[in-house]
Chains A and B, each alone.
Chain A
Amino acid sequence: MNHDDNAPVVALTRAARHFGPVKALDGVSLSVAPGDCLGLVGHNGAGKSTLVNLINGTFGPSAGEVTFPGGAEGVRSVFQELSLCPNLTVAENLRIAHPNLKGFGWRRAARAEIRESLDRVFPGHGIDPDAEVDSLSIAQRQMVEIAIGFAPRGGRARLVILDEPTSSLDAGIAEQLLSHVTGFCAAGGAVIFISHMLGEVFAVASRIVVLKDGRVVADRPADDFTRSGLVDAMGHVATEAVAQQAARSEPGAVVIHTPNGLEARQGEVVGLSGLAGHGQAAELARLYFSQTSDWRAGRAAQAVFVAGDRPRDGVLPLWSILRNISISVLPRDAKRGLVDRAAESRLAQEWKARIGIRTDDLDNPILSLSGGNQQKVLFARALASDAAVVVMDDPMRGVDVGTKQDVYAMIRAEAAKGRTFLWYSTETEEVCQCDRVFVFRNGAISAELTGAEITEERILEASFEMQEAS
């Protein structure tokens, strides 16, 4: 633990960053030494991503300074919003991060380097370096991005910033990453690990820094924190028990039945689980498309969709927050085909307050929000409608603990009113909140669990059964 004689890799001195009147970061002092694994936690919009952007040089500080005593080489970032080029192969994407790779045969070198890095971080990953990125699942893309972060790239990774690295990874893969991070730090590397999964933060971090409203409110060794103490420091009262306590309504009639065997009743919260990329997302998309039409939209939609892959499936990037919230309910509130703008603005204000979207002005562009807040907008869009079925495709990616608890409670309350939720999640903790869980393996349902059967062990067992048998 004693690295005091080592020069820090990066040091921030009263660094601040303002965006117009918004103080995204308000005077943060922090240093990361070789061998440190710094866990960085805080609510959506607390300034975590801004801090990362200051360190990787996306923009400079408005005040204070950011210094790299040993030079800025070897400082890498793995972003929350996946930043690979989808039309290039895995190896070609490495080349983009490694400009010194040139001349004849660079492809061979790139293939070898990325394969080696993937093998080291995620043994048994099964990713082909020649695969085009858009043919990979979102979990595989995240793995590639992490592997590029840790690859030598003509030097050595000295500080790797991981921003929500496990948000689309299933438990087994996340475990591989955590053990790699531990090994990397033991060998003298430094890591800044940003996550809303507090369990993971405790598993890897040697030190935890809590950000709140752009300031550091706690900076202590990880052993000095307890889980609830950490949640308190972030400034949100822990309400974990609430979701479970909420009365579970008696399920009603079957409203959904797919050829695959997926079944959901009125007022039920149905979970889809299993390892990432085993057909859950495809099943949900099929289901949503079958419930809605390419050609007609009635005044009230039968089903709504909450996207997890925001840039691909959710956000309308040119629009304001307001328009992004209201798009699904326009026909309901319209008068003679014209948008009722007063009703639209009332609805958006109501949801801004209910779900806590951090913005001064709903007319700001949606892309001015942090990732977690964009996700809240997508929740508001779906929950504001009257649709009987809500389809959610891993919707909690990048959402902070406090908001998660609020949304769990909201889902419970809406289910009690008779709405049906279909919820795919890579987090077992979330799946365990459901009334009924379908576990997927290789595109088919391998188990249906209800009530007390829904445990982490049973889910894992059903996810892996085939592999064990063979």
Chain B
Amino acid sequence: MSGFAKPWLWAWIAAGAAFAATLGLTAGRGAGELAYAAMSFGAFAAIVGMGQMLVITLGPGNVDLSIPACMTLAGTLALKVMGSDPGTAWLGLAVALATGLGVGLANFALIWLLRLPPIIATLAASLIYQSLAIWSNRGLRIKPPEGLADFATGRMLGVPNVAWVALLLALATWVMLERSVWGRWLLASGQNLRAARLAGVPVQAVRAATYVAVAVFAALAGYLLASFSGGAALNMGAEYLLMSIAVVVIGGSSIAGGNSNVPGVLGAALFMFLVVSMLNSYGAGAGVKSVLTGAIIIAIVIAASARRSRP
């Protein structure tokens, strides 16, 4: 297990390289701004990525494709309840998290009761969540309460507040995975569900909790993103579908389950933003940018899996 025991290192090296390549063009000017922007935007990818990581850890076939819809629904409902009124930030947070809880339970109910493959269950359910968001939003663009907007775009000790939130969440996730009984249960279930069950792990409770956790993470990201960008939009979650899966894989977690990696997700989230800004600063057009981003992700996934399959 040693030797390449730190797969998260690669994500951070890649992020560093993209950072350096961007600054190479400007001869080092704007380093602080670039780092700040990467931390702001990376925070949202990191939060949903950690949720997706927990689900992917459950083993082959487990993935949550309802993350974008859940973000949109949570952001929309929270902003609607708050209605731009001051002092309602906590109420909005509670609504967002409750939305996440509901979405997670609904997803797992489909998977467990109807025995649908998670990929189908979450994708189909996401159409419903998205429709609910459209129905409740009706084209309104409600601004977040001023205090909340200030928090979401503000900073502390030079680091964006949203990055602090992501960092705290990462710490909690790491402790849960590496030190708690639940974490051991999750990792055991992801390696061999039947063996875990026969070793006394309450596997259905572990799966349920994981699907709820990913939805709550997505809801939190939706709430913060809506507050950060001055209101909820119906397509606000769209880019986080591929993003959430890409940061897990680039971060060094095993796509086959049973193995996860919190620091890697953080590094990969920074990398995903930096690679786009690198291409931007080199003046790549929208089409070229998409092609190159896709190619870079594929290259990294291939490199990562080649590294792992070495004996």
Residues of B contacting A338 in the complex (Cβ-Cβ under 8 angstroms)? 175, 179-181
Q: List 27 A-B contacts (CB under 8 A).
A: A292-B200, A294-B197, A294-B203, A294-B204, A295-B204, A296-B205, A297-B200, A297-B202, A312-B192, A312-B195, A313-B195, A313-B198, A314-B195, A316-B258, A318-B191, A318-B254, A327-B200, A330-B181, A330-B185, A334-B180, A338-B175, A338-B181, A339-B179, A339-B180, A339-B181, A341-B179, A381-B199
- Contacts A292-B200, A294-B205, A295-B204 given; does A334 touch B191 at CB 8 Å: no
Enumerate chain B residues within 8 angstroms of A292, measured Cβ to Cβ: 200
Contact check, B192 vs A317: say whether CB atoms are below 8 A apart. yes
Q: Specify which chain B residues have a CB less than 8 angstroms from the CB of A297 in the assembled complex.
A: 200-202, 205
Interface residues in chain A, defined as those with a beta carbon under 8 Å from any beta carbon in chain B: 288-289, 292-297, 301, 304-305, 307, 312-319, 323, 327-328, 330-331, 334, 337-339, 341, 365, 381, 385
Instruction: Give A431 Cβ to nearest chain B Cβ, in Å.
Output: 22
Contacting pair A296 B202 (CB below 8 A):
yes
Q: Is there an interface contact between A312 and B188, defined as CB atoms closer than 8 Å?
A: no
Name the B residues within 8 Å of A330 (CB-CB). 181, 184-185
| Bound CA span A195–B140, Å | 76
Q: Are the CB atoms of A331 and B181 closer together than 8 Å?
A: yes
Given the contacts A294-B202, A301-B200, A323-B184, A316 and B195 also touching, CB distance less than 8 Å: yes
Interface residues of B (CB under 8 A from A): 1, 175, 179-182, 184-185, 187-188, 191-192, 194-205, 254, 258-259
- Set of chain B residues within 8 Å of A365, measured between Cβ atoms: 1
**B259–A318 touching, CB < 8 Å:** yes
- CB <8 Å contact, B195 and A304: no
Given contacts A296-B205, A327-B199, contact A319 B191 (CB under 8 A): yes
Closest 5 CB pairs of A and B: A294-B204, A305-B198, A297-B202, A316-B191, A330-B181
Contacts of B192 in A (CB 8 A): 312, 315-317
Interface hub of B179, B181, B192, B197 (most chain A Cβ within 10 A): B181
Q: How far is the CA of A305 from the CA of B196 in the complex (A)?
A: 11
B188 adjacent to A327 (CB under 8 Å): yes
Which chain A residues lie closer than 8 Å to B197 at the CB level?
289, 294
Which residues from A are CB-within-8-Å of B182? 337
Residues of A within 8 A of B205 (CB): 294-297
Q: 9 new A-B pairs (CB below 8 Å) besides A294-B197, A316-B192, A327-B199?
A: A304-B200, A313-B194, A316-B191, A316-B195, A318-B187, A327-B196, A334-B181, A337-B180, A337-B182
Q: Which residues of A have CB within 8 Å of B254?
A: 318
Contact B259 A288 (CB under 8 A): no
Interface SS of chain B: helix
Q: Which residues of chain B are near A331, meaning CB under 8 Å? A: 181
A301 to B202, CA, bound (A): 11
A52 to nearest B CB, angstroms? 19
Known: A295-B205, A330-B184, A331-B181. A307 touches B198 (CB 8 A): yes
CB proximity of B15 to chain A, nearest CB, Å: 26
What residues of B have a CB within 8 angstroms of the CB of A334 in the complex?
180-181
Smallest CB-CB separation from B202: which chain A residue? A297
Chain B residues positioned under 8 Å from A312 (CB to CB): 192, 194-195
Q: In the assembled complex, how far is the CB of residue A347 from the closest CB belonging to chain B, in whole angstroms? A: 14
Shortest C-beta distance, A392 to chain B (Å), equals: 12
Chain B residues closer than 8 Å to A313, beta-carbon distance: 194-195, 198
Q: How many whole Å from B207's CB to the nearest CB in chain A? A: 9
Q: How far is the CB of A324 from chain B (nearest CB, A)?
A: 9
CA distance A365 to B259 in the complex (A): 14
Closest chain A CB from B74 CB (angstroms): 27
Q: Which residues of A contact B181 (CB under 8 A)?
A: 330-331, 334, 337-339
Q: Are A339 and B195 in contact (CB under 8 A)?
A: no
Q: A18 to nearest B CB, angstroms?
A: 16
Instruction: Chain B residues near A316: list those with CB within 8 A.
Output: 188, 191-192, 195-196, 199, 258
Find out whether the CB atom of B198 lies under 8 angstroms from the CB atom of A288: yes
Interface centre among A289, A293, A330 (most CB of B within 10 A): A330
Question: In whole angstroms, how far apart are the Cα atoms of A314 and B192 in the complex?
Answer: 9
Alpha-carbon gap, A317 to B187, bound state (A):
11
Which B residues are in CB contact (< 8 Å) with A295?
202, 204-205
On chain B, the residues within 8 Å of A328 by CB distance are 199-200
Contacts of A293 in B (CB 8 A): 202
A170 to B130, CA, bound (A): 58
- B200 to A318, Cβ gap below 8 A? no
Please measure, in the bound complex, the distance between the C-alpha atom of A338 and the C-alpha atom of B196, giving whole angstroms.
19
Task: Knowing A294-B205, A334-B181 are in contact, say whether A317-B191 is a contact too (CB < 8 A).
Answer: yes
A305 to B204, CA, bound (A): 18
Min CB–CB distance A97 → chain B (angstroms): 23
Query: How far apart are the CA atoms of A331 and B184 in the complex, in Å?
Result: 10
Which B residue sits closest to A363, measured CB to CB? B1
* Most A-side CB within 10 Å, residue of B192, B195, B201, B202: B195
List of A residues within 8 angstroms of B202 by Cβ: 293-297
Q: Quick one: closest A residue to B176, CB to CB?
A: A337
Chain B residues whose C-beta falls within 8 Å of the C-beta of A337 in the assembled complex: 180-182
Determine the residue in chain B with the shortest Cβ distance to A378: B199
User: Which residues does chain A contribute within 8 Å of B259, judged by CB atoms?
Assistant: 318
B298 CB to closest chain A CB (Å) equals 25
What's the Cα separation between A317 and B193 when bound, in Å?
Answer: 12
Q: Measured between alpha carbons, how far is A304 from B196 in the docked complex, in Å?
A: 12
**In the bound complex, CA of A338 to CA of B202 (Å):** 17
Shortest Cβ distance from B205 into A: residue? A295
* CB neighbours of A296 from chain B (8 A): 202, 205
Q: Quick one: closest A residue to B196, CB to CB?
A: A316
A296 to B185, CA, bound (A): 12
The residue in chain A whose Cβ has the minimal distance to the Cβ of B259 is A318
Q: In the docked arrangement, what's the CA distance between A313 and B191, Å?
A: 11
- Which residue from chain A places its CB closest to the CB of B208 in the assembled complex? A295
Q: Which residues of A contact B200 (CB under 8 A)?
A: 292, 297, 301, 304-305, 327-328, 385
Q: How far is the CA of A327 from the CA of B200 in the complex (A)?
A: 8
CA distance A307 to B1 in the complex (A): 26
The answer to whether A339 and B199 touch (CB under 8 A), given A313-B194, A365-B1, is: no
Q: Across the interface, which residues of B come within 8 angstroms of A305, CB to CB?
A: 198-200
